[in-house]
Copies of this chain bind each other. A is one copy, B any other.
Amino acid sequence: MFVLFRSFITIFFISYASSAAAAHPNLVINTDDVDTMRQAVDSPSGRFTVAYNDLLTRLEPIIESGVDVPVPVDSGGGYTHEQHKLNYRLLYDAGIAFQVSGDERYSDFVRDTLLEYAELYPNLSLHPKHRPNATNPGRLFWQSLNEAVWLVYSIQAYDLVYNSLSSSERDRIEAGVLRPMALFLSEDSPTTFNKVHNHGTWVTAAVGMTGFVLDEPLWVDRALYDLELSGEGGFLKQIDELFSSDGYYSEGPYYQRYALMPFVTFAKAIENNRPNLRIFEYRDNLLLKAIDTTIQLSYDGLFFGINDAIKSKGIVTDELVLAVAIAYSQTGDRSLLSVADAQDQTILSGDGLLVAQALDDNLAEDYQMRSQAFLDGPNDDQGALVVLRSNDSVLVGSEGQALVFKATSQGLGHGHFDKLSIQWFDRGEEVYTDYGAARFLNIESKNGGRYLPENETYAKQTIAHNTLVVNETSHFDGDVKLGNLNAPTLNTFNVSEELVLTSATINTAYDGVLLGRTLVSFDLAGESVVLDIFDVEAETESTLDLPVHYNGQLINTSTDIHSEPSLQPLSDRNGYQHLWLRGTAQPGAGLTQHTVLGENNRFYTHSSILPDRAQVLYVETGANDPDFNLVHQQAFITRIQGAAQNRFVSLFEPHGEYNPAKEYTLEASSRVAAMDVIEDENGLTVYISLTDGSQCAVAIAQDAAGISESAELTCE
């Protein structure tokens, strides 16, 4: 109700202001920006001048060798695909070079390239590599998403050289490619255009920006409110629905970063063309919050690898560089300059100039990474992505620790079945890992660079994550629609001086099963540790599997492992078919410990208290993987069979250092000697005895329903 109301208000506003576009350029860069940029490059030094000169140097051989607009043949990674991607960047870059230098060689390049596209495009039917039955085929590319990206860049390039073109050249370019593409992406692709999804954002941005430049206010309105102007889709609905009030994007940071680009680009164009809409203030500064949240959802410069994430993506991506420049220009927040400094890239725009000059003037202030529960869902009621940080809060080169607790909604089609899973980072390393996506982006031999089949059969399945699996089936039985309807409940997120406590539950991941996880991050005798309490209550006796996927070499276990002489897949479905069973152990009473040597040469011990009947399974990826598509990963899985309920209590502890270069090894053994859990009517207390004889207790107060409410640490 509230959401609808919000959209109607803005419809009223904007239509009124929608026929002003005349000056060029006026999208992300306007004529005032051009003036200041021209002045800036008169200075012989400074970041902006350096970046501008780099641009001219990079463009020189391109301008020399001329235009290359091939007939589309290849899918992702192939020659024609990459060339068309290259072209839209070159168009944009040459447009910038023209505006700042005034040199017509650059505008000629843009003109000639666009004229070739104008010749080519009318002759294209659907791309030869488009997927049959898909709702999003492209003509220039195999999917319309890439086509929208092409238009977002190319319409800016056209805007940048607009004044240098003759009227007949404009007509040819607009009639040959810009108009038909905008119509193809809107009227001819209603499902994608109206979709509240990141593909929809690219498409609406492309069409809306084209509307500004070609003075087609209806296209802008469609972009804002959907094809029927109903407000049920379109850009504003996307801002309403795809983000929580914390600026968390339901698909997770990898797609949040990707989605940011059209959001901030189109928003900036709206700000220039329909300033009355106050788009950056829309929904309590939502877009600016989303930019900040994207930065927060990283460790050592790389985004948390949840859902379908390619794990090498991080804060240096083009999208976030642009977003940070725009955010700084909007807010003047000097802590963003630290982010820009770490990104080490200068955007050649008015906003980029502001950042470059501020950095030249050493105005950057520290940017703080913080513990936070980022609420999920348009109404903040679909759980949260919770981040617990300790030791430090620097942006990159982290010495600190971060625990990521995924108590979020499903995250649409790119979401994984990983309710209440965790990912743990320490000293620059991902210690307890999330597989991320099974994909080699743009490598043609790997399924055309698209998601691999193993993304569905392994990476998305629950067993590929550090969370509980009941009866070897994935959460929601692997049904995305069901997943989208059911999110966990975030019960607690408390930050105190001595600890951070969080807790969440979900009773819909499995029929008749309540899952609850409580995590406490605190300092244990000088090291940041995590206490992990995972409660399962099922209506029937079940097999409970709690995996810990780890990075590094297993160095020591308290268990006596029975090693398999030959390897069999752990099971035949739900991701288990991709795991080889290397060995099993019966840990027995007392503390069960597994020590791993991380790639950062630090030791990590997982200590847990297990019931007598628990087993530990040692597994690694690679089974049923004929094409070598899976990356090698290892896990130990605690399994309890025939249990209707169990409480898994574990402690994650970093310690010591392995230094083969300097030939010393410090504290290779855990300092945890024993753990006990005592439960009473007020909650539970976990006693941790250390090898030096000292003891700490974490007392967790719980309500009648067993929900963790607060925690207290005492050490003696």
Contacts and interface: CB of A to CB of B under 8 A. Distances in A.
Given A554-B628, A668-B77, A443 B662 contact: no
Contacts of A632: 620, 632
Contacts of A625: 563
A553 B628 contact: yes
Given A555-B445, A626-B583, A317 B561 contact: no
Interface string A506-544: 000000000000000000000000000000000000000
A227 B597 CA distance: 44
Interface in A631-659: 631-632, 658
B317 A445 contact: no
A7 interface: no
B445 A595 contact: yes
Contacts of A566: 566-569
Interface in A603-646: 618, 620, 622, 624-628, 631-632
Interface stretch (A207-215, A277-285, A308-316, A332-340): A308-316
A441 interface: yes
25 contacts: A77-B668, A310-B660, A312-B660, A312-B661, A313-B660, A313-B661, A317-B661, A317-B662, A318-B662, A440-B658, A441-B658, A441-B660, A442-B660, A442-B665, A443-B555, A444-B665, A445-B556, A446-B556, A554-B628, A561-B628, A563-B625, A566-B567, A566-B569, A618-B628, A632-B632
A631 B567 contact: no
Main secondary structure, interface of A, reads loop
A580 interface: yes
A597 B440 contact: yes
B440 A555 contact: yes
A663 interface: yes
A31 interface: no
A669 interface: yes
Contacts of A568: 566
Contacts of A16: none
A539 B281 CA distance: 84
A664 interface: yes
A312 to B, nearest CB: 5
A441 B622 CA distance: 29
Contacts of A669: 444-445
A549 interface: no
Identify the interface centre among A580, A620, A665: most chain B CB within 10 Å of its CB.
A665
A82 interface: yes
In order of increasing CB-CB distance, the 8 nearest A-B pairs are: A563-B626, A445-B556, A442-B665, A567-B567, A554-B628, A310-B660, A441-B660, A312-B660
A85 interface: yes
A443 B583 contact: no
B555 A664 contact: no
Contacts of A561: 626-628
B77 A665 contact: yes
A566 B623 CA distance: 8
A668 B443 contact: yes
A314 B310 CA distance: 32
B622 A443 contact: no
Contact of A441 (B445, B446, B580, B665): B665
Contacts of A622: 582, 620
A428 to B, nearest CB: 16
A316 B632 CA distance: 31
A313 B661 CA distance: 5
Given A77-B665, A442-B668, 15 more contacts: A82-B665, A312-B661, A317-B662, A441-B660, A441-B665, A443-B597, A443-B668, A444-B669, A445-B556, A446-B555, A449-B665, A553-B631, A561-B627, A566-B569, A618-B628
A665 B553 contact: no
Contacts of A583: 626
Contacts of A580: 567
Contacts of A445: 555-556, 595, 668-669
A443 B658 contact: yes
B663 A441 contact: yes
B668 A314 contact: no
Interface in A558-608: 561, 563, 565-569, 580, 582-583, 595, 597
Nearest to A658: B443
A82 B669 CA distance: 14
A637 to B, nearest CB: 15
A94 to B, nearest CB: 18
A185 to B, nearest CB: 20
B661 A316 contact: yes
Contacts of A658: 440-443
Contact of A665 (B443, B569, B668): B443
Contacts of A668: 77, 442-445
Given A563-B626, A567-B580, A582-B622, A442 B664 contact: yes
